[in-house]
Structure 1
């Protein structure tokens, strides 16, 4: 029954986001088709693609930091390649296949199974914490004056909960319970119980860098469509971070597809021309997929050349 409800929920979320995005596109179709990008705009889009690719490379490096925190030193370049090659799998139904690919690759490199699994659980937690930090810093511009304090308080509370969740004092008991349950269900030799020995501050700061690069890629994409000034950058970073976070945590949205677009349109369409917002968000999705594809392709060819 629970599995059926999850499937229904995924389809409801996907359907609702597609209806919202489709309706926004229908209402502003003529304005969207009237937008033209000049040579400077295409150059900016190329830079945005490069910045987004750099963000994914950086995220792969941070994954090696997480493994180092678990006392699993590994060759950084090799595992950045693994990260980039598995990135596109997040668009497959289930939204877990990129994690599965990384766990398998880590095990094949003689990483302890417990550490491999824990690394791909910690990484999204740290990403979510980094996104919430950006939302707390820049997201208050989306609320009305009479609700700003309440929403800011809720955001700070959510951030505190996530930051506490990755603290060794709270995380290690959960890890220990997981290993105990796994040992009871398995008749094989239990795997070592890996523990976090210190707060993962370095990986958390690294994930903030990842979100900052992704956000700048989004800002550059908007800038290619319409002129911006410096006061717009915090607004766009806050909107991007909130939309990215929802796309990251909402079930039934592989790679945040649909949820990210619907949220970003809802937040920005009343602050910028709707047609420009829709065009920029659609372009950014294409840029993001293109950057991930380039990263996976470069990793594959680099491995082939090395062999």
Structure 2
């Protein structure tokens, strides 16, 4: 019992240290770019406001894709109820601990149709496939190896070998997770990361920053999302994702531009997920049609 308590304390301290280091890095970036940040002016405010609103709508649609992937893993049992629970759970990832959205989803979904084991396995499969999807999308970074020398210099092997290993690993996992809807779920996650890349690209355009290749900016977001997902830190990956995004985007982007973009994405996600929480009942209604696929296994 004492050993588990110490583990909990050590993990908590580690999370706090990671968060504080991330905050220090962001503070350092702000201090170095304070002049540029103060001089920043949005030239086309109506364009920016319109883009921000459209980005919120896109974000909501992307969350609907994540919900669909979750229903695939649950084999479309009680789709409307499970969709509503998933929508409501997302706002809880910002609570301290970064696990309450999983706990809420598990506790609220469990009933006679779902056992603890089934929900636990679905959550495990979700995590594995999300990590694979983010890893594969982030490989687009290596199209511009000269921009990420700080990363490529640390790789123990050529990046193409790493990519090949990841593809083989994904195929191996797909065979292990046969009859779970692996491919359908993975495609849904690809859609999510592609859509988030589009939001990032649109915000860069709306602010009048130097244009960046879509694949590059999508890969930067995917890699930063993955870092925030797997590295213990603040709720919702706060701090970790911002640091990794800034590191990956520079020097191709100015540091202050990368900082503003990732801060806007954080703000956008909080606003959109608040709307999703409030509209969970309405957003979950279309999923009732999937009840005809109950117990169906997707590819």
Matched, 1:239 2:220: yes
2:53 corresponds to which residue? 46
Q: Secondary structure of 2:87's partner?
A: helix
Matched, 1:288 2:288: no
What is the alpha-carbon distance in structure 2 between the residues aligned to residue 226 and residue 159 of structure 1? 37
Which of residues 15, 28, 41 in structure 2 aligns to 1:36?
41
Matched, 1:221 2:175: no
After superposition, give the CA deviation of every residue in 1:139-170 in whole Å (9 maximum; x if it has no partner). Answer: 442433974862443354355445534542xx
Which of residues 162, 170, 187 in structure 2 aligns to 1:205?
187
Change (3 A) 1:43 1:82: same
- Deviation at 1:257? 0.7
Q: Secondary structure of 1:237's partner?
A: helix
Change (3 A) 1:166 1:46: same
- Deviation at 1:115? 1.2
Aligned 1:166-205 pairs, distance under 5 A: 167-168=175-176, 197=179, 200-205=182-187
What is the alpha-carbon distance in structure 2 between the residues aligned to residue 138 and residue 47 of structure 1? 26
CA contact (8 A) 2:203 2:261 kept: yes
2:139 corresponds to which residue? 136
Which of residues 252, 259, 266 in structure 2 aligns to 1:271?
252
Q: Is 198-207 or 236-245 further displaced after alignment?
A: 198-207
What is the alpha-carbon distance in structure 2 between the residues aligned to residue 161 and residue 33 of structure 1? 47
CA contact (8 A) 2:209 2:257 kept: no
Q: Secondary structure of 2:62's partner?
A: helix
Matched, 1:57 2:55: no
Change (3 A) 1:33 1:75: farther
What is the alpha-carbon distance in structure 1 between the residues aligned to residue 216 and residue 129 of structure 2? 23
After superposition, give the CA deviation of every residue in 1:164-213 in whole Å (9 maximum; x if it has no partner). Answer: 34542xx6xxxxxxxxxxxxxxxxxxxxxxxx535611111111111111
TM-score by length of 2: 0.82
Change (3 A) 1:223 1:246: same
How many residue pairs are counted as aligned between the two chains? 273
CA contact (8 A) 1:51 1:217 kept: yes
Matched, 1:27 2:35: no
Aligned 1:72-87 pairs, distance under 5 A: 73-87=76-90
Unpaired runs of 5+ residues, structure 1, are 172-195
What is the alpha-carbon distance in structure 2 between the residues aligned to residue 228 and residue 109 of structure 1? 54
1:187 corresponds to which residue? none
What is the alpha-carbon distance in structure 1 between the residues aligned to residue 92 and residue 159 of structure 2? 34
Q: Secondary structure of 1:252's partner?
A: coil
Q: Is 136-145 or 58-67 further displaced after alignment?
A: 136-145
After superposition, give the CA deviation of every residue in 1:36-75 in whole Å (9 maximum; x if it has no partner). Answer: 222112111111111111111210111001111xxxx324
What is the alpha-carbon distance in structure 2 between the residues aligned to residue 266 and residue 286 of structure 1? 20
Q: Is 220-229 or 242-251 further displaced after alignment?
A: 220-229
Question: Could you say what the CA RMSD is over the residues aligned between the two structures, in angstroms?
Answer: 2.6
Which of residues 8, 11, 14 in structure 2 aligns to 1:6?
11
Q: Secondary structure of 1:93's partner?
A: coil
